[in-house]
Structure 1
Amino acid sequence: MATGYPETRYPDDTRHRVPAALRAPVAGRTWREFLYLILNLPMGIIGFVYAVTMLSCGAGLLITFLGVPVLAAMLAGCRGLGRIERGRARALLRMDVAEPEPIRQRGSGLMAWVGGLFRSGTSWRHVLYAFLLFPWGVFTFVVAVVLWTYGWAALTYPLWQWVFPAYVHRPGLQVFSNGDYSLYLDGPFKITLTVLVGLLLVLATPWVIRGLAGVDRLMVGGLLGPSRLATRVHELETDRGTVVDTAAADLRRIERDLHDGAQARLVALAMDLGLAKEKLAEDPEAAAKMVDEAHGEVKTALQELRDLARGIHPAILTDRGLGPALSAVAARCTVPVAVAVDLPARPVPAIEGIAYFTVSELLTNISKHSGASRATVDIWQTEDRMLLQVSDDGRGGASAEAGSGLAGLAERLDAVDGLLVVDSPAGGPTRITAELPWRA
């Protein structure tokens, strides 16, 4: 879920001349947040009245079946209120709150939807928000309006102080009276003091408003956005789909390589040996030549099978670990590659395999596309992460945009809570860093 504010741009001289404390009272952010706090009151009243009314009626009618649809309407209405509140937060607080998880139905039909509505923790969090917004809205409305009004009124007091002697026949604004003594804001000293107090309030109020708006951000994000558990479940479901798609693609690749490579050679070999068997009695020399050619085909088929097995899971990785396995991959690269592996122990086989194939794919890209003269591979462990960095001095311009090979690699890393960062400006050099969870 993303929050924050777009940076306000000022000319360089203004940015340095006017401190943030002096800009705050007239900044757009302050006025947007002030409006948000003002609107808390009417929105709180609407939500509170609706939730209390529907909850009371629904609870009272639970002795009959009518209470269930009334309570369901309360939950649905509070979810609708939450949609409005997320829009208000986006418009005034510049807070992008993701939509919560949808209602999960067990079956189809109206009753399945109602059941999902009652089981949804998101629905009840929306009801809680409707209850909390009312008292919080009263508080924020009073604080924001009082501070803002009194601050600007005191700051501009000299501009409207003349109203009292002209129309009310008093020397100034009366701030205290006990029958025997009255205190009026008149005279240069009192007016100056009033302006100073107003200036302090005007300068302090924006920061009070921002603090109150910060609490609103917590409420909106915590009660109206997706829960952490639901977000994590969605990520795991997405990652599971990526893993399944990747596994299916690997199986199709293996099947295609077997069908087009080793299988085709073995079929041709069987045919050649059959012909050689038929010619063995009639033309031994031709049969011997055909057997010799078949022997060459056997060697080629064996090499293809070794390459295919290495692509599934290389034996050197299982037997000797990541360092020797990557050194073997680097030796097959078309550019010189320096490999440095600094790990305190071997990671679990799954992470080790992902690291191996990630580096292999990146080195393949260097061979095919980079135009580099040298490359380096560095692997190390820091805290609970394993980092891989593959660098080259090629032409650069690599990108992990959708549809590219790097984008697919990033998706596979994301499936195990990994991360891929590409730094490849035009003209090079290219530095690609991958992070994987460390599990030894």
Structure 2
Amino acid sequence: MAAEYGQGHTHMDRPEFRGTGAERRRLPAGLRAPIEARTWKEFGYILLSLPIGLVSFVFAVTTFSLGAGLLITFIGIPVLAGALAGCRGIGALERTRARGLLDLDVAAPEPLRPKGGGPMAVIGAVLKSGASWRHLLYCVLVMPWALFSFTVAVVFWAYGWMMLTYPLWFWLFPMYGGQDGIQLYGDDGHRVYLDNPFEIGVTAGTGLLITLATPWILRALTTVDRLMVHGLLGPSRLATRVVELESDRGVVVDTAAADLRRIERDLHDGAQARLVALAMDLGLAKEKLTEDPEAAARMVGEAHGEVKVALQELRDLARGIHPAVLTDRGLDAALSSLAARCTVPVQVEVDLASRPAAAIEGIAYFTVSELLQNISKHSRATRGSVDVWRAENRLMLQVTDDGSGGADASAGSGLAGLAERLDAVDGILVVDSPQGGPTTITAELPWRRA
């Protein structure tokens, strides 16, 4: 969704447009479609679908009917489970075939989770799995659709190429067939053949139109196959969402643990160390109070300075956990405070009529904080800007700078960790940072009212 906010990206940047070179641009897409590898792979997929669909249909209907009929006895339950397990195996084959011929990468459905050990637990897991029944439905539906698509594809493919190449082989009719050409009409008194140059040319032209249309017909047919494979043989939306939530939970736990370690380290190396040293200095000052009052006063003065430094470190640490200005005055004031501490002049513009949830505000604040730190440390920029606005149910953040660019969230940098944190709350991070700059980083967060 957020990709539209990246700067400088066009449709030519997508993988299917890269690396084609000038050769593929010499012919329009409509003219080169009949000879493209994609068309031939889709045609091969449709040809294979009929025998595979027939075997799948026969297996599914036979085994399911047998298992259902035997349910009055105990034997029917394992037979039915075996039918569903076999359909899952066919589904694995179909996902592999779709990956190789249709470039459709569909993940395997959620694995079986038997409750306990033994064959009965496995049988129960197979029967209770929604994915198993979806595989059975696919095996039943694929055969009639495969028969239809096979017929349409073979007819258009064969007639298109046959008519297109008619000028090359029409001489076979008078030489070996005993007639002048392809017969369009015939009765006892009259026959019409495609035998003169004009008729041969019209036949070839019609064949060219059919040949050029065939790849798009194949594409439409395999679109249905893609939908069936993706919808029936892949993981369900609920299972996919559960996996995403489990992954996001892991990211949140790891992030919280890292933050706790950082706070502990900052306390141990900073304020705690200063307070220990302060206690020792005050102890020495107490001992010298009667012997050397001036030295004791000097040590108390130094200790007073250490107290101020320790307090400042504690304030900075508290601000790093959750700044009070964010809670009291919202994102506008909090981000302005961040910009004031940045080493680069930063303009902040916040256009929000209301405040989002406190958790979202906190994530937005720390996102901008980390991005401004990157500007200060790495960008060599002379100015930057922060824009915040609401787009329907999304909170939008955009941080730009005129630095040297080259930021890459996929290189395992801090941006990658930031992207994971945003993803944990259904957020998105889009980085547009060409070499030489400028850099534009856009973040989306769910709004979630306070």
Task: Give the structure-2-normalised TM-score.
Answer: 0.88
Aligned equivalent of 2:10:
none
Distance 1:14 1:222, change over 3 A: closer
Is the 8 Å Cα contact of residues 72 and 117 (structure 1) preserved in structure 2? yes
CA-to-aligned-CA distance 1:180-221 (integer Å, 9 cap, x gap): 456452542665554454344333333222211111111111
Cα shift at 1:391? 1.9
Alignment of 1:68-83 (within 5 A): 68-83=77-92
Aligned equivalent of 1:291:
300
2:53 equivalent among 41, 44, 57: 44
What residue identity is the alignment partner of 1:263?
Answer: Q
CA-to-aligned-CA distance 1:337-358 (integer Å, 9 cap, x gap): 2222121212211111111111
Distance 1:10 1:284, change over 3 A: closer
Aligned equivalent of 1:238:
247
Distance 1:282 1:61, change over 3 A: same
1:226 equivalent among 223, 235, 240: 235
What residue identity is the alignment partner of 1:156?
Answer: T
Aligned equivalent of 1:409:
418
2:343 equivalent among 331, 334, 337: 334
Cα shift at 1:415? 0.9
Is the 8 Å Cα contact of residues 183 and 194 (structure 2) preserved in structure 1? no
Structure 1 position 34 matched with structure 2 position 43: yes
Alignment of 1:25-424 (within 5 A): 25-174=34-183, 180=188, 183-188=191-196, 191=200, 194-424=203-433
Structure 2 SS opposite 1:6:
helix
Cα shift at 1:250? 0.7
The 2-side partners of 1:375 and 1:90 are apart by: 45
What residue identity is the alignment partner of 1:147?
Answer: F
Is the 8 Å Cα contact of residues 78 and 130 (structure 1) preserved in structure 2? yes
CA-to-aligned-CA distance 1:343-378 (integer Å, 9 cap, x gap): 121221111111111111111122222222222222
Structure 2 SS opposite 1:388:
strand
Is the 8 Å Cα contact of residues 48 and 131 (structure 1) preserved in structure 2? yes
Q: Which moved more, 1:323-332 or 1:420-429?
A: 420-429
The 2-side partners of 1:13 and 1:47 are apart by: 42
Q: Which moved more, 1:215-224 or 1:22-31?
A: 22-31
Cα shift at 1:396? 2.2
Is the 8 Å Cα contact of residues 182 and 195 (structure 2) preserved in structure 1? no
Question: What 5-or-longer segments of structure 1 have no aligned partner?
Answer: none
Q: Which moved more, 1:182-191 or 1:68-77?
A: 182-191
Cα shift at 1:32? 1.8
Cα shift at 1:401? 2.6
**How many residues are matched?**
435
Q: Which moved more, 1:162-171 or 1:132-141?
A: 162-171
Distance 1:362 1:12, change over 3 A: closer
Is the 8 Å Cα contact of residues 372 and 395 (structure 1) preserved in structure 2? yes
Structure 1 SS opposite 2:71:
coil
Cα shift at 1:389? 1.7
Structure 2 SS opposite 1:401:
helix
Structure 2 SS opposite 1:202:
helix
Cα shift at 1:309? 0.7
CA-to-aligned-CA distance 1:278-299 (integer Å, 9 cap, x gap): 4434443333333333222222
Question: What 5-or-longer segments of structure 2 have no aligned partner?
Answer: 1-13
Q: Which moved more, 1:337-346 or 1:263-272?
A: 263-272
The 2-side partners of 1:10 and 1:394 are apart by: 32
The 2-side partners of 1:285 and 1:13 are apart by: 89
The 2-side partners of 1:343 and 1:82 are apart by: 49
Distance 1:57 1:424, change over 3 A: same
CA-to-aligned-CA distance 1:147-202 (integer Å, 9 cap, x gap): 22233333434544444444454444455566x45645254266555445434433
Aligned equivalent of 2:16:
6
Structure 1 SS opposite 2:338:
helix
What residue identity is the alignment partner of 2:99?
Answer: R
Structure 2 SS opposite 1:428:
coil
The 1-side partners of 2:416 and 2:21 are apart by: 39
Task: Give the structure-1-normalised TM-score.
Answer: 0.89
* RMSD (Å) for aligned C-alpha atoms: 2.6
What residue identity is the alignment partner of 2:193?
Answer: L
Structure 1 SS opposite 2:409:
coil
CA-to-aligned-CA distance 1:30-79 (integer Å, 9 cap, x gap): 22211111111001011111111221222233233332332222222212
The 2-side partners of 1:190 and 1:306 are apart by: 91
Cα shift at 1:397? 2.2
The 2-side partners of 1:280 and 1:259 are apart by: 30
Cα shift at 1:273? 2.9
What residue identity is the alignment partner of 2:48?
Answer: L
Aligned equivalent of 2:30:
21
Distance 1:421 1:240, change over 3 A: same
The 1-side partners of 2:319 and 2:18 are apart by: 55
Q: Which moved more, 1:33-42 or 1:87-96?
A: 87-96
Is the 8 Å Cα contact of residues 239 and 415 (structure 1) preserved in structure 2? yes
The 2-side partners of 1:361 and 1:72 are apart by: 54
